[in-house]
Structure 1
Amino acid sequence: MRSYLVGGAVRDRLLGRPVVDRDHVVVGAAPEQMLALGYKPVGKDFPVFLHPRSNEEYALARTERKTGRGYHGFAFHADPTVTLEQDLARRDLTINAIAEDEHGTLVDPYHGVRDIERRVLRHVSPAFAEDPVRLLRVARFAARFAPLGFRVADETMALLRQMVADGEVDHLVPERVWAETRKALAEAQPSAFLQVLRASGALAVLFPEVDALYGVPQRAEFHPEIDTGTHLELVLDMAAKLAPGDDLVGFCALCHDLGKALTPADVLPRHIGHEHAGVAPLRVLAARLKVPAEHAALAELVCREHLNAHRAFELKPATVLKLLLALDALRRPARLDAFLTACEADKRGRAGHADDDYPQAAWLRAARDAAAAVDAAGFVAQGLQGPAIGAALGQARAAAIAKLSKP
């Protein structure tokens, strides 16, 4: 019986990144031996145990065999005869198929160290194509490691395209698509996630509302990048820069311009009313992927109201108040912060505008504070009742916003 550190812990140490999770594989052991040593069983589909002291995961070495379509269609086999090399062979990418023994010696049968040095995401074996979730994982790893110069190997990209052509991606359940997407939106370069999905053909299958943005022109004086898909990639990466690890802001950025794909050809490159047109496809996307309610709700507000945020200095005080109330910003200032971050990402996610200031954000926060400082108590004391209180409160809050100076 021998145990090895495997997967992300080894990969991240070699990359000089913080090691978050430490997973181990155990060779030459049976479940009964693990239980006798005090390990706690947690695996449902195959034997996984928690160490009695460190609580780290220890999985018995196993092989897997494809038995049906989709990512559920697998049979697992774990017993003391399964070798370390056989266990590593079932993993997705070579950089995740490196093991390390108790002495720090690496076991690297599939040349993961070389691919780390060459900055390549490469599949371990043709069995990769049997699990459609792996396509999403490659795209997500691309979003994580693109800033380090990683790219998807040509042969792996060809395999991803074949998986799409074979219909494997059609069997992905919404929960898994959303789980991987959510993680990708929290990575350092989410644009790489879209690029891999698009290059493989999976974007059109999984996110047709997003795929439709590519090739749609915008007015060059406002969007030097012209292509709406390119703009979206810039916005996603700016959102990741402004709010690292925040998938809520990332999802708002992803969906903010969906309406531009619906602009009639004879109107292009103008996009009149795109902010309202985008609500319907956003709702379809959010429902299909079973996106959390707050993600869907705030993304809809960003979609519908981001132009109002951009022209905040031109709005009437009553309109500013209406925007704040729509966001529930007086009670939930953090929600306003997420909204404004997504709007700033949109404004700065344009070719040549990454370093632009966005004074609208600070001013709208000040407007929120001014409005929130006015409460109903004074109007109740004056003897107002019912709707009269709400009307007076709204007028007073708008007046407070009107007093704010603008840049």
Structure 2
Amino acid sequence: MYVVGGAVRDSLLGLAPKDIDYVAVGTTPDTLRDLGFQQVGQDFPVFLHPKSHVEVALARTERKTQQGHTGFVVHADPSVTLETDLLRRDFTINAMAISRTGELIDPFGGQQDLNDRLLRHVSTAFAEDPLRILRGIRFLAQLGRFDFQLADETVHLMQSMAPSLTELSVERVIVELDKTLASERPEHGLSQLARLKVTDMLAPELLKLPERFVCKSADARLAEWVLCNEPTTECVARYAATFRLTNRRSQFLSAVIRLKDLTLANPQACLDAMSQLGWLRGNAPNSALDRLLLEFDQTQQLPVPLARWMFMRDQVRAVSATPFVNAGLSGKALGEAIYAERLRVLSTEISAPGTAPGL
């Protein structure tokens, strides 16, 4: 039994491992089941320890059979050695193991690459899985404090692999990009996108990056990235459809983009923007979306703070149709009266903050 992968890497870097992966060599599924292990992996043999419930995988090999991240056939039996198992891994710094006696097994020079702060692929089999390009970008971001760099030969290999990124599902792409955005130094990884030709394949309009990210959440950081490329609302809508963004993320990006150049000089334009963003519908504002908007306010990239927009939105939403209905208005006349009252309230709030009706 050996500890393998990221836990070994993190321990050697002086970091507390988030997850610990174990690999068992020279055994079979039947043997582990007889010892009380519970099998949980369908695509390849992974077992839960009967007491600690940690995951233990059998040493295995992989063979590429079709396109995409999951297009592999896995083979596991007692003849698969530890070195063979480590050979299938992505980077040398992830291809080390520690035995139960504490011995470091490092057949591919991972420890030296750790010391040299280099991210280097283990073998040419790296090219079989295009997701590894995005994983490499993520590792650069997650290990940002150590200033890792890509080995030259790995850069060349990744560049040659870039066209195969289109084989990946959009869900896998988004998962990796979100992990990168949520990392310690996302710009350290994302700065390699253009060099590796990833931007050309996935997001050609997103060439520019912030010098540093101000926000903490992946959602807000995505907006920082998008906004510095001066996108249109049409561009955002297209990416939302292509990458199947969640409704909340799409609404958040739409709000940031629509308000990026809007001042309070024209109250009618402000009211129309609120309506187009869906802020004046009957349902209550989305609290999670509001939290994102307030987080993005830290960037100070919009001419009018989002907190101010949200306050004005709430004043406009407080306008009730009841007085107009009681006055006998209906249909188009009712709609026009509500619009006029909303515009009056908004104009008052813009010209004399804090004096709109109800304050």
Q: Same fold (TM over 0.5)?
A: yes
**Structure 1 residue 210 and structure 2 residue 161: aligned?**
no
Say which of 62, 70, 77 aligns to 2:75.
77
Say which of 3, 7, 10 aligns to 2:8.
10
Partner of 1:168: 164
When structure 1 is superposed on structure 2, of 9-18 and 151-160 the one drifting more is 9-18
Counterpart secondary structure, 1:197: coil
Say which of 235, 240, 244 aligns to 1:281.
235
2:12 counterpart letter in structure 1: L
Counterpart secondary structure, 2:192: helix
**Structure 1 residue 300 and structure 2 residue 254: aligned?**
yes
Q: Output the CA distance in 1 between the equivalents of 2:143 and 2:174.
A: 20
Contact 1:85-1:109 at 8 Å conserved across structures? yes
Q: Output the CA distance in 2 between the equivalents of 1:380 and 1:19.
A: 63
Q: For residues 365 and 17 of structure 1, do their structure 2 counterparts lie closer, same or farther at Cα, with a shift above 3 Å needed?
A: farther
Contact 1:317-1:399 at 8 Å conserved across structures? no
Q: For residues 337 and 394 of structure 1, do their structure 2 counterparts lie closer, same or farther at Cα, with a shift above 3 Å needed?
A: farther
Partner of 2:357: none
Once the two structures are TM-superposed, the CA of residue 121 in structure 1 deviates from its matched residue by 1.0
Q: For residues 344 and 156 of structure 1, do their structure 2 counterparts lie closer, same or farther at Cα, with a shift above 3 Å needed?
A: same
2:176 counterpart letter in structure 1: E
Q: For residues 378 and 18 of structure 1, do their structure 2 counterparts lie closer, same or farther at Cα, with a shift above 3 Å needed?
A: farther
Which structure has the larger Rg?
Answer: 2
**Pairing of 1:242-261 with structure 2 (within 5 A):** 242-243=215-216, 246-258=217-229, 260=230
Contact 1:321-1:398 at 8 Å conserved across structures? no
Say which of 305, 308, 314 aligns to 1:360.
305
When structure 1 is superposed on structure 2, of 192-201 and 332-341 the one drifting more is 332-341
Counterpart secondary structure, 2:256: helix
Q: For residues 363 and 402 of structure 1, do their structure 2 counterparts lie closer, same or farther at Cα, with a shift above 3 Å needed?
A: same
What TM-score do you get using the length of structure 2 for normalisation? 0.83
Partner of 2:179: 183
Contact 1:62-1:87 at 8 Å conserved across structures? yes
Q: Output the CA distance in 1 between the equivalents of 2:304 and 2:103.
A: 54
Say which of 113, 116, 119 aligns to 1:118.
116
Report which of the two has the higher share of helix. 1
**Pairing of 1:43-122 with structure 2 (within 5 A):** 43-122=41-120
Once the two structures are TM-superposed, the CA of residue 100 in structure 1 deviates from its matched residue by 1.9
Once the two structures are TM-superposed, the CA of residue 89 in structure 1 deviates from its matched residue by 1.0
Q: Output the CA distance in 2 between the equivalents of 1:401 and 1:359.
A: 11
Q: For residues 169 and 363 of structure 1, do their structure 2 counterparts lie closer, same or farther at Cα, with a shift above 3 Å needed?
A: closer
Counterpart secondary structure, 2:2: strand
**Structure 1 residue 198 and structure 2 residue 175: aligned?**
no
Once the two structures are TM-superposed, the CA of residue 401 in structure 1 deviates from its matched residue by 5.5
Contiguous gaps of at least 5 residues in structure 1: 212-228, 261-274, 349-357
Contact 1:371-1:398 at 8 Å conserved across structures? no
What's the CA shift string for 1:97-141, capped at 9, x where partnerless? 121223333222222222222211111111111111111111111
Q: For residues 287 and 363 of structure 1, do their structure 2 counterparts lie closer, same or farther at Cα, with a shift above 3 Å needed?
A: closer
Partner of 2:289: 335
Contact 2:40-2:47 at 8 Å conserved across structures? yes
1:73 counterpart letter in structure 2: G
Contact 1:98-1:107 at 8 Å conserved across structures? yes
Q: For residues 346 and 112 of structure 1, do their structure 2 counterparts lie closer, same or farther at Cα, with a shift above 3 Å needed?
A: farther
Contiguous gaps of at least 5 residues in structure 2: 355-359
Say which of 199, 210, 218 aligns to 1:233.
210
**Structure 1 residue 404 and structure 2 residue 353: aligned?**
yes
Q: Output the CA distance in 1 between the equivalents of 2:286 and 2:268.
A: 19
Counterpart secondary structure, 1:25: strand
Q: Output the CA distance in 2 between the equivalents of 1:36 and 1:8.
A: 29
Q: Output the CA distance in 1 between the equivalents of 2:248 and 2:180.
A: 18
2:201 counterpart letter in structure 1: V
Q: Output the CA distance in 1 between the equivalents of 2:193 and 2:167.
A: 16
Partner of 2:136: 138
What's the CA shift string for 1:307-336, capped at 9, x where partnerless? 22xx4xx44566556555636397235423
